[in-house]
Amino acid sequence: MSKRDFLTLKDYTAEEIRLLIDDAILLKRLRQKGRAVLPFLSGFNVALIFEKPSTRTRASFSVAVYELGGLPITYSAQELQLSRGEPVRDVARVLSRYHHAIAARVFRHSDLEELARFSRVPVINMLSDLYHPLQALADYMTIKEKKGRVDGVRVAFIGDGRDNVFNSLAIAGVKLGARIRVASPKAYEPDPEVLGDDVYSKIEIYEDPAEAVRDVDVVYTDVFVSMGQEKEREERLKAFLPRYQVNSDLLKKVGRDDYIVMHCLPAHRGEEITDDVIESGNSVVFDQAENRLHTSKAVLLYLLNPHWSRSL
């Protein structure tokens, strides 16, 4: 079987995304029953490359590899010869002779594409400047757990419409039948080239967040200043605050009580979201964070051992 990469959910069908979510739910149930360690990747090792700091991704992916019986081996950019100018293609060709998969968290999506082009083994996107597909899987797994479905669920993303988290949230959501809205300042509206015309044509774009959240099931936000955007901090905060902050006043505009609030974390409390909202009974942000573990397992198995038994 030829190798398959996991760089963006644009490359995956709705049926494949649903399967990954269902597998993640099964793996979570097994873990809750005390069956956390499963032997499906016994003898495998996975390279984890981090150009950016990480809490949830590093922890969840490392534990996922270990609990499937494999060995995670972590590299920072400074530990690799990348920091001294070695070409990405050379790193790919070398590491793919040692490891069964390469997972990378990078600044530039183009570096991931080059890794995948020259790697003999699957390459997994743990975050790039354009996409965060592992996060989107955990998001829709959480929505399915909390709402019982994804098809027809109304999701309002408040903030940067060019955010990597929003891009993957929109791509997966449209494929799964969710109704995606985004509220952003004009300068930060979604990029049709990144989303693709099929996705871009199906999302609803608002400038007013109060309109975007009306009667939705999910209110989602992310930081206004992502890693690598620190020089834009003052400009970005001026554009987003206070209008695009997810706070109790904005949530009153939803008009119902059974909405859930989502955030991929880490949160800058007091900027894109207030402390009282993230700690409220409507918040599911820590369920999202937990589900990163289970969806990481599902992706690893799909790429490395697709014939694992789902009848456990």
**Same domain, residue pair 147 and 253:** yes
Within the chain, which residues score under 50 in pLDDT? none
225 and 168 part of one domain: yes
Specify the pLDDT at position 83.
56
Nearest-CA neighbor of 137 among 286, 8, 301, 261?
8
Please indicate, yes or no, whether residues 105 and 231 belong to a single structural domain of this protein.
no
Amino acid identity, position 174: V
Coil, helix or strand at residue 47:
strand
Q: Report, as residue numbers or ranges, the catalytic residues.
A: 105, 132, 135, 222, 264, 292
**299 contacts 103 by C-beta, under 8 angstroms:** no
Q: How far apart are CA 88 and CA 97, in angstroms?
A: 14
Range(s) of the domain holding residue 36:
9-132+290-304
pLDDT digits (tens, 9 = 90+) for 234-285: 999 999 999 999 999 999 999 999 999 999 999 999 999 999 999 999 999 9
What CATH number is given to the structural domain containing 200? 3.40.50.1370
| 254 and 270 in a common domain | yes
Q: Per the domain annotation, does 4 fall within a domain?
A: no
- C-alpha Rg value of the chain to the nearest Å: 19
Element (H, E) at 166: helix 164-176
Q: What is the pLDDT of residue 79?
A: 84
**pLDDT number for residue 309:** 85
280 occurs within a structural domain: yes
Residues 149, 117 within the same domain: no
Residue 67 belongs to a domain: yes
How high is the pLDDT of residue 229? 79
